[in-house]
Chain A
Amino acid sequence: MGDTTTFFRAARHEPYRRATAESPRVRRLLIIGALLFLGIFLFVPLVSVFAEALHKGLGYYLHTFRNPMTLNAIELTFIVAGISVPLNCVFGVAAAWAIAKFDFRGKNLLVTLIDLPFSVSPVIAGLIYVLLFGAPGPLWPWLSEHNIKIIFAVPGIVNDTTFVTFPFVARELIPLMEAQGRTEEEAARVLGASGWQTFWRVTLPNIKWGLLYGVILCNARAMGEFGAVSVVSGHIRGQTNTIPLQIEILYNDYNTTGAFALASLLAFLGLVTLALRTWIERKKTAALHAAEMDLTA
């Protein structure tokens, strides 16, 4: 009897709840737990970058960007990303075309090898280029004879950045192009389009959002790479320092505000990357939805 009274009381006081939902209290607890964890590990660090950067006021913040070494680092970063990103972009499109549009043996192995740079430590990525082009390497006698500097110079930094950002575009495009199949391209060919026309008019419009997404991720990593670049750069001030290396120098010189001012630039780039990512993701789902509507119409 007691059971029935508690049952009815519970039914009167508690709002209707599905059998597959948690009680409001549990739900609130879980949300708070998750937000607390993310707050401590993500939001507080993110806010503190900008707080530390503006610690001495906006005037000082802007002043830190007048430092010629800093300007030099910004310039070099743009040069390096400007070379590495297009190289990996062309590679990514070529690799995705070969892998997604054709069948051949060893395809899985090729895909695994393309992903390889992601599982190699940035420090080892730097080390391998020192071993190849540096003093212990097989090319060193020839390079030094012709006075070509790769290690501790800009070409080494470009090389290393290209290695570290190697898979981004390819990895984004391969699954996308595999899902799209090859019927549209085949139709274009049958209707008389040349190979290039097919690529520019049919394939590229189909993959543009995925390509843009890959390029954005690739660029963010290229501009922010630290470990790999630090091994091959040689840290020559005003010459071979990218933004992350300049941040380290300022920080170690006890110029904390200057370091954070420059860091805020990269953090801002990171936020822009995330915003663009979310926007593109929405575009991608909208395009997919439109394609489904076409099919049903």
Chain B
Amino acid sequence: MTSKNFRVLPGFRLTLGYTLLYLSLIVLIPLACVFVETSTLSWEQFWHIVTAPRALASYRLSFGASFLAALTNVFFGILVAWVLVRYEFSGRKIVDALVDMPFALPTAVAGITLTALYAPNGWIGHLLAPLGVKVAFTQLGVFIALTFIGLPFIVRTVQPVLENLDPEIEEAAASLGASRWQTFRRVILPPLYPAVLTGFSMAFARALGEYGSVVFIAGNMPGKTEITPLLIITKLEQFDYAGATALAVVMLVGSFAILLAVNLLQWRNSRHLAQV
């Protein structure tokens, strides 16, 4: 009984073994194929593929539109979370449940729906057409689709933090003479930063890889409205496996770099807070 390895509950070896086996078969080994396949390319070949003008244009669109969409969602996500947590209004519970709709609605459905809405004869498109604003089949359309996809992330990360915020600090701020806006900026917002950052990075990473909702609305013109995932599929359809894989490596490294950067930032933040 003194053995440190004694366990009352059974099944440790069985469940851990099965977990590792299944993880390797479904996720790790297939993912490793990407790097094995790229290693068949020389460095010059790899560089030539990933810096081709068409590829560069697709990164600009994918990273740029994803960034702007995630930023839009930061602003509106905080607003929606605030309204859902702080205010009572009829239909609040239904609205709260429907915020997750982009998670539950398949991307292809979102894609054709947004395209139909924003096409020049669609419900929203025909209102924008007289103003000279074109959404469907432009870069703006890509932005709209990515905003839709990322909408729940920030609401859902900010909401619990806002719910658990101690009302006393707000009362203290008010009694010390702070206006409501000052209290919001200086007292309420700072504790939300880590959650906002997490939500932002999740929305950004999700938007980078998004395919289904974008292909329908983008119009997919090479160099203009072609996102990187679509370029990967185009290369695959031409049986250019090495080319597709090289672009996939760029995307994987890009999204892992974002997640890593955000984690480092969080870590520095929490250390900073600990020192104070």
A171 near B: Cβ within 8 Å? no
B68 near A: Cβ within 8 Å? no
A275 vs B251: C-alpha distance when bound (angstroms): 35
Per the CB 8 Å criterion, the residue count for chain B at the interface is 88
Contact of A163 with B26 in the complex, beta carbons under 8 Å: yes
Contacts of B148 in A (CB 8 A): 41-42, 45
How far apart are B154's CB and chain A's nearest CB, in angstroms? 12
Q: Which of B16-24, B49-57, B268-276 touches A?
A: B16-24
Contact of A266 with B109 in the complex, beta carbons under 8 Å: yes
Contact of B12 with A98 in the complex, beta carbons under 8 Å: yes
A277 near B: Cβ within 8 Å? yes
B83 near A: Cβ within 8 Å? yes
How far apart are A11's CB and chain B's nearest CB, in angstroms? 17
Per the CB 8 Å criterion, the residue count for chain A at the interface is 93
Contacts of A129 in B (CB 8 A): 30
1/0 per position for B98-113, CB-CB distance to A under 8 A? 1111111111111111
Which of A22, A38, A260 makes the CB contact (< 8 A) with B98?
A38
Contacts of B171 in A (CB 8 A): 19-20
A149 near B: Cβ within 8 Å? no
Given A33-B79, A127-B248, residue A227 in contact with residue B104 (CB < 8 A): no
A residues lining the B interface (CB < 8 Å): 19-20, 22, 26-27, 30-31, 33-35, 37-38, 40-46, 48-49, 52, 91, 94-95, 97-99, 101-102, 104, 110, 113-114, 116-117, 119-124, 127-132, 134-137, 159, 162-163, 166, 182, 185-186, 189-190, 195, 198-199, 217, 220, 223-227, 230-231, 243-245, 247-248, 251, 256, 259-260, 263, 266-267, 269-271, 273-275, 277-278
Pull 5 A–B residue pairs with CB atoms less than 8 Å apart, ordered by A. Answer: A31-B89, A35-B95, A101-B9, A110-B20, A162-B26
